[in-house]
Amino acid sequence: MQMKAAVLHAQGLPRPYAETRPMQIEDVVLDPPGPGEVLIEIAGAGLCHSDLSTIENQRPRPLPIIIGHEGAAIVREVGQGVTGVKPGDHVVTLFVGSCGECRYCVRGRPNICASAFKSRAAGTLISGAKRLRRMNGEPINHNSGLSLFAQFAVVMRNAVVKIDDDIPLDDAALFGCAVMTGAGAVFNTARLRPGEEVALVGLGGVGMNALFAAVAVGAGRIIAIDTSAKKLELAKAWGATDVFLAGNADCAAAVRDATDGGVDTVIETAGTMPALELAYAITARGGSTISAGLPNVGAKFSYLHAALVSEERSIRGSYMGSCVPQRDIPLMLGLYRRGKLPVERLKSGFIGLDEINLGFDRLSDGLVLRQILRPNG
Ligand SMILES: [Zn+2]
Ligand SMILES: [Zn+2]
């Protein structure tokens, strides 16, 4: 079939993107779903910081590529052998579509599936296929097995989770990345318990979902930290007990002073070195520093080895919130239904494909939390 898509043809172009247009809106060809694959119509796709860092060339990707990795969609066609979803079903998409067979999948950790890792680097689906091409026949790479900045996508069956029809698809879209990553870091990676304290460094879409999750858990103290005073205000209104403005040298000392030497669990979601350094600096003895923000591919973090040992520190990564999505997305949607994961607060408006470059200018300026692309109007 033929459809419209935003094709990323160059990484690292200067801003403003509204003028340099790293993504061009093109008519492209999408092949029908092969065995184990499904065709979905994109209802909503969030503009996420990790898309922005791909545009900025923080992580090189094979080009041309269609990015977009957080969304909700309607199944339109299923390939041979697909079970569990049928045309008309509403789904949330997963940027790690697990294979179910590798050593990580069989241990219950589909979020770090080896096959997904391999196919992501190759710009293919886990099946090895590329289903996208330009009108002149040139293949277009898939992004994380999804490529949602388009009217339709062909993805693996395991890259979607069926959801109830009455959940608004615009809200459901956020569960595909921001909610799983942020709330999952709190529920799964940190396993935060009622009364415990947590600090959140970075208050974008992921950080705010970590905040909602910390409130839902019943955290005793929630310390929110960001470089934007406006986001701190929001965090305070949404349940943070303490807020600190990052960006000056005194921030770490101020947090340590206010917390009797540091916080037991610190979750960093900004994906920058200053953010991770701050997170580590405010972690208490015996505490955990959890990093959930995707950084530049070459960024390296250093720490005092002696302190790691004598203070019994932990530094942990959290990818896709350590989620088992087929288990966790229904649980998280249950919390959403009860108003405990109020993701609708994060929506900053809707855009069409034509505005996508401008949308990333806005995200880069820090003016918005989550814009939702509606590629089908
Ligand atoms: Zn994302
Ligand atoms: Zn796997």
The answer on pLDDT for 18 being more than 80 is: yes
In angstroms, the CA 199 to CA 210 distance is: 10
Please tell me the predicted confidence (pLDDT) of residue 377.
Answer: 85
The percent of residues above 70 in pLDDT, for the chain, comes to 100
- Distance in Å, CA 320 to ligand 1 centroid: 9
Interval 194-231: pLDDT, tens: 999 999 999 999 999 999 999 999 999 999 999 999 99
In angstroms, the CA 290 to CA 322 distance is: 11
- Distance in Å, CA 96 to ligand 2 centroid: 9
Interval 73-106: pLDDT, tens: 999 999 999 999 999 999 999 999 999 999 999 9
- Distance in Å, CA 256 to ligand 1 centroid: 30
- Distance in Å, CA 1 to ligand 1 centroid: 27
Ligand nearest to the CA of 158: 2
Q: What is the mean pLDDT of the chain?
A: 97
Interval 142-163: pLDDT, tens: 999 999 999 999 999 999 999 9
- Distance in Å, CA 112 to ligand 2 centroid: 7
Counting runs of H as helices and runs of E as strands, what totals does the chain give? Answer: 13, 18
- Distance in Å, CA 319 to ligand 1 centroid: 10
Please tell me the predicted confidence (pLDDT) of residue 249.
Answer: 77
Ligand nearest to the CA of 294: 1
- Distance in Å, CA 175 to ligand 1 centroid: 10
Ligand nearest to the CA of 98: 2
- Distance in Å, CA 153 to ligand 2 centroid: 21
- Distance in Å, CA 107 to ligand 2 centroid: 9
Q: Which residues contact 338 (CB under 8 A, 6 or more apart)?
A: none
Please tell me the predicted confidence (pLDDT) of residue 248.
Answer: 81
Task: Tell me the DSSP string of 169-221.
Answer: HHHHHHIIIIIHHHHHIIIIIS---TT-EEEEE--SHHHHHHHHHHHHHT-SE
Task: Tell me the DSSP string of 347-375.
Answer: EEEEE-GGGHHHHHHHHHTT--SEEEE-T
How does strand 242-245 pair with strand 263-268? unpaired
- The pTM of the full predicted model, rounded to 2 decimals, is 0.96
Please tell me the predicted confidence (pLDDT) of residue 345.
Answer: 96
- Distance in Å, CA 181 to ligand 1 centroid: 8
